[in-house]
Amino acid sequence: MGTRTARSPKGLAEQNRRSQGSAQNRLHILTLNCKYGLKDAPTKDLLMNQLSKLKYDVIGLCETRAKVESRTKWVETGDEIIIGEGNGQQRVGGVGFIINSQIANRVIEVQVHSHRIATLKLDIGRKTPLLIVQIYAPHKDYGTDEIQNFYSEVEKYLDQPAYQKIVIGDFNAQLGPKNTSQKYIGNFTSGTWDKNETGELLADFADANKLFVINTFFQKPSNKRWTFESTNISKTRHEIDFGLCTDRLMVTNVEFLSRLDIGSDHRPVRFTLNVAIKKQRPPMMKSGRTLNEATMQRKIAEQDWTTKGSLSTKFDKIQQQLKTCVDAASMKKPRRSRFSDETNQLLLKRKYMNRHDNQIEFVELSKLIRKKIREDHDKFRTERLLKTVAERRSLKKCKRELRQQTTTMSSLKAEDGTRLTKRFEMQ
């Protein structure tokens, strides 16, 4: 059995205080580096399938690598997907957000400022909003000047009224052990300061803007504190995805989640905030279960339907026996996946592949999967349309049912020519 790390009474008291918030007062914010981008509907479909297993309210995205900025609503869930475009011919970077449908009505404004910075303002019932800044920082090969210019640009978007501010994303930097002079870094870091200029720049940025590096204030097992896994010979794992916040006591937990099966070399990081926000109830959905007719008939035949006693006793017995039959015959409706069995097998193979020992194979397999999911989507659409024509049904209805996302507005032009980006101004 593993040993358990002893905690101080002060640490336990703070943990107990942080865990007192109710489920209604919790806001789950994630940051995720997609690596291969979200360029089209098939790649979005793959990501949204993976996200169905996670609890989230807002997800900040890095490396969307899109050709153009897009804002859509995912039909199946109602979640909003804001994708920023990448930079240059290689479409480097790109940032954005996924907003859960339950809090979409609380969003004031979403702006993608560049391929490295996006902001989201959330109404949490205060005079000023919660400001969420999603970033994708330049790595060390860009040079110190480029990184300093980037942090200066982030500061520009932080300089606005907000109840609290949180900066999340891939900082491409590691933090070493806390120095006595560092107020905004906690005791729990996983890197070193040796030849670590990007880490020092991150620490300076946090100090200059009075932002607590939230990851470093939560004790986690050392083998779990990684967000990025390099594919070099040394097979190293690093913690380079962080959350920075103006009030560290507002954040009640930080979780390093299991890697999603989208081919990324990053793991999502989830920050739980103690924020009172009224969420919409999920819409009433049709039953996700169906009855097996043969099993239902067999179970009915097996039951003894003779009844005795009062009318209410007879009713209760029949009702209970019917429930027993329905429970035995019901089964979950299989989700109509657009991916073929072959593609699903390839996804399963990649999920359990040792990417260090099979680096070239992993890269080639990821390329093949990206090709296959696009082919599967095209084939699924073509087959459905041909079937509709053959059965002489409505093509318009079929196309509507095939639609996975709908476009939403990003801004409106006012009468005086100004650009309106706040949602209440566009209503």
> Between β-strands 58-62 and 26-33, what pairing exists: parallel, antiparallel or unpaired?
parallel
Residue 107 scores a pLDDT above 90: yes
* pLDDT confidence tier of residue 421, bands split at 50, 70 and 90: confident
Token digits of residue 32: 């995720």
Contact 26, 273 (CB under 8 A): yes
**Mean local confidence (pLDDT), 157-186:** 93
Tell whether the torsion through CA atoms of 202, 276, 220 and 97 is positive or negative.
negative
* pLDDT confidence tier of residue 409, bands split at 50, 70 and 90: confident
Least confident of 56-60, 201-205, 300-304: 300-304
Least confident of 166-175, 178-187, 277-286, 313-322: 277-286
Which CA distances in Å does 259 have to 54, 92, 229, 272? 11, 22, 10, 18
171's CB contacts (< 8 A; 6+ apart) are 135, 137, 198, 202, 240, 241, 242
Residue 19 scores a pLDDT above 80: no
Mean pLDDT score across all residues of the chain? 87
pLDDT, position 89: 81
Q: Which residue has the higher pLDDT, 51 or 285?
A: 51
Q: Which residue has the higher pLDDT, 415 or 147?
A: 147
pLDDT, position 356: 77
Condensed to tens digits (0 to 9), the pLDDT of residues 293-338 reads: 888 888 889 988 888 888 888 888 888 888 888 888 887 655 668 9
* pLDDT confidence tier of residue 23, bands split at 50, 70 and 90: low
Contact 97, 111 (CB under 8 A): no
User: What is the C-alpha separation between 369 and 104, in angstroms, rounded?
Assistant: 32
* pLDDT confidence tier of residue 410, bands split at 50, 70 and 90: confident
Residue 7 scores a pLDDT above 80: no
Residue 282 scores a pLDDT above 80: no
pLDDT, position 98: 97
Q: CATH 3.60.10.10 in the chain: give the residue spans.
A: 14-274
pLDDT, position 33: 96
**Mean local confidence (pLDDT), 264-286:** 82
pLDDT, position 3: 43
Residue 8 scores a pLDDT above 70: no
Least confident of 66-70, 221-225, 271-275, 333-337: 333-337
* pLDDT confidence tier of residue 181, bands split at 50, 70 and 90: confident
pLDDT, position 333: 58
Residue 41 scores a pLDDT above 80: yes
* pLDDT confidence tier of residue 27, bands split at 50, 70 and 90: very high
pLDDT, position 167: 98
* pLDDT confidence tier of residue 17, bands split at 50, 70 and 90: very low
Least confident of 53-57, 114-118, 282-286: 282-286
Task: Give 14-274's CATH code, choosing from 3.60.10.10, 3.20.80.10, 3.40.640.10, 3.40.1010.10.
Answer: 3.60.10.10
SS (HEC) of 232-271: CCCCCEECCEEEEECCHHHEEEEEECCCCCCCCCECCEEE
Residue 231: alpha-carbon gap to chain centroid: 23
